[in-house]
Chains A and B, each alone.
Chain A
Amino acid sequence: MLPLARGIYSSLTQITRNSRAALHTAGALRCKAEPAAETETPADGEENSENTANAAPDPKDRKNVIPVETSIRYLKSAAYKTTYGDEFVWTQYRRNHKGMYAPRKTRKTCIRQGRISTGNPCPICRDEYLVLDYRNTELLKQFISPYSGQVLSYSKTGLCQKSHLRLTVAVEQARDCGLITYDVPFREYDYSEYYGKKEESKQ
């Protein structure tokens, strides 16, 4: 799960737990004596804060664009480390499908009208801090096969079609700029093409 969403989730659970406990004690106190009113007030306050936390950020909202620089910093951060560990962004992802065999293609897109429209968004779409860009080489390298040097298929990574297209474009751009190295095809020189005339004249 995402660090942000996780943070919100944990704080929410904590709040509800605390308020429940507070309510419980309050109930017990109310039966006994009047000074209990004092303990009741903080519990009310916490309930209010729960409402505001619920209203503020929508975890499925993807309207604000996150700059690449932030994404590059995120990939180096401790938050990224705790979420993904040393594994690739896509290793832990599993597709949801009915029946034994997954459909050949992944879904067209995870984000419609600036909102996540699915319950199981693809590895790139689920974390809004992963931005596909040619400068974000650390991210792009996770999607390149160490054996063939090609971009990994979406059947392996589970990316939605839209993300996959953006990924291939970004990788190609990065190669063009020399930010990602690859094995250049070997060029065999026909020396006679460059030195030919001189050799003929010598003979």
Chain B
Amino acid sequence: MLILRQLRKLNAVQRLQLGVDQSRRTLSDASLQYDKDPQPLFTDAETQRLLQSMTQLQLEKVFRKRTVADNSTETKFMTTAQLEKEFVLTIEKAKKLLQMPPVVQIKKDTERIISKDPALKDFDNSKYVFTDISFGLRPSERKVVVRDVDGTLAYAPLETQKRMNQLYFPLDGRRSYTPRMFSDEQLLQRCLDDHKYEFILDRLTVQYEPYEAEFHNISAKVFTHLNESKQFDLLRSTRHFGPMAFFYAWHRCIDDLLYDMIRRDYLYNGVQLIALSYKIHNVPVEYGKTLSQLEALQPTPAERALEELLSCLKKPSEKGIEQEIQTAIGKTEQDFAADEISLKFIEQYIGSEHALKKVQLELAVQTLKEVNLEKLQLFKGLKKAHGVQAT
């Protein structure tokens, strides 16, 4: 009993400290909060399509070997038709693994009193919490009510509701206390300095609900740190890339991400990013036409991944010389055409007043242009040498 009491005291002290920490954190990061509800813009079909396309789908990264308790594999014999079906299922599975965490507003806690019964005053010296534990309810639908010491019966605050949910229907990986990584500023900073972005964000999704203030604060902190360290590739092809790009577009700091995309030759993604920021801030620039043009030329990430999977079924003799040239250079004729369109769009963006790091971006575009020109010449030369007709 004594030990229990001690523990309770300790917890209370910890909670107090946490409260202090939180208030400090909100002060320091107040500038990077979503000032209005981002949800309608985020859930918009076009935004979702842009974000998914920007995320890309690298099968190796999505299905990397995870160190989980059970990571057994199954080996099967299959016909080619079965295998093709399995490939389609694999892509579906990958899409599911890339499901983006929702971006919603911070939910304010409202006190909802059911009844006040002064007759019940001092029925006990502690509150009573009643939880509906019937099976199959969603966490948000589960009713949790609190009978206070002074006799009022009210719906439980969000914190208590989450705690009771976790108590009766635990979510895998969530702790009932705040992990020290999130409560201790220094530890979080250390994690950030070690570039463990994906780990932090994964843990954040499990530990907190998307509408909690901590979720917003910590993710904002991660994204700002990422913007400084410029290691965007660590999050590419993970579920957090979409919210990250959305965050940058919302706060008008897409230039570093755009620079990274240009340097890695993901021009199509760059165009999408610019289009997204135009869309969020209602900039009167016509981007729909360029996007639809590019869409016709470029496959979606899912299609590309499926193609990659199917290509390993083909025998090397079946592949024509044209394809061989394409794989050697890494680009098709359509890609070159798409690059031209997207470069035009990006240069237009750099010229406008929305770009902040103009010199850097211009240089990147210039070098990319030179590399692309060389590639195009090589491509044409190889085609000519092999006698493939240019279309």
Beyond A177-B187, A185-B172, A185-B173, whether A191 also contacts B200 by CB under 8 A is no
The size of the chain A interface, using a CB distance under 8 A, is 25
Q: Is A188 among interface residues, defined by CB-CB distance under 8 A?
A: yes
Could you say which residues of chain B place their CB within 8 Å of the CB of A101?
Answer: none
- The contact string, 1 if C-beta is below 8 Å from chain B, for chain A 163-181, is 0000000000000111101
Partner of A178 from the list B191, B205, B211 (CB cut-off 8 Å) is B191
Cβ A147 vs Cβ B71 within 8 A: yes
Cβ B67 vs Cβ A187 within 8 A: no
Q: Which of A46-54, A75-83, A112-120, A192-200 interfaces with chain B? A: A192-200
What bracket does the count of chain B residues touching chain A fall in? 35 or more
Cβ B196 vs Cβ A147 within 8 A: no
Could you say which residues of chain A place their CB within 8 Å of the CB of B187?
Answer: 177-179
Q: Is B378 among interface residues, defined by CB-CB distance under 8 A?
A: no
Beyond A184-B173, A184-B203, A188-B99, whether A195 also contacts B67 by CB under 8 A is no
Cβ B104 vs Cβ A195 within 8 A: yes
Partner of B99 from the list A146, A184, A189 (CB cut-off 8 Å) is A189
Cβ B206 vs Cβ A198 within 8 A: no
Could you say which residues of chain B place their CB within 8 Å of the CB of A183?
Answer: 66-68, 202
Could you say which residues of chain B place their CB within 8 Å of the CB of A198?
Answer: 39-40, 43
Q: How far is the CA of A181 from the CA of B190 in the complex (A)?
A: 12
Cβ A188 vs Cβ B96 within 8 A: yes
Could you say which residues of chain B place their CB within 8 Å of the CB of A182?
Answer: 67, 199
Q: Is B351 among interface residues, defined by CB-CB distance under 8 A?
A: no
A122 CB to closest chain B CB (Å) equals 25
Q: How far is the CA of A182 from the CA of B187 in the complex (A)?
A: 16
Beyond A148-B71, A178-B188, A193-B138, whether A184 also contacts B202 by CB under 8 A is yes
- The contact string, 1 if C-beta is below 8 Å from chain A, for chain B 190-204, is 110000100110110
The 4 A-B pairs of least Cβ separation, nearest first, read A149-B67, A178-B181, A184-B202, A185-B173
Between A and B, 5 residue pairs with Cβ closer than 8 Å are A177-B180, A178-B190, A184-B205, A184-B206, A190-B138
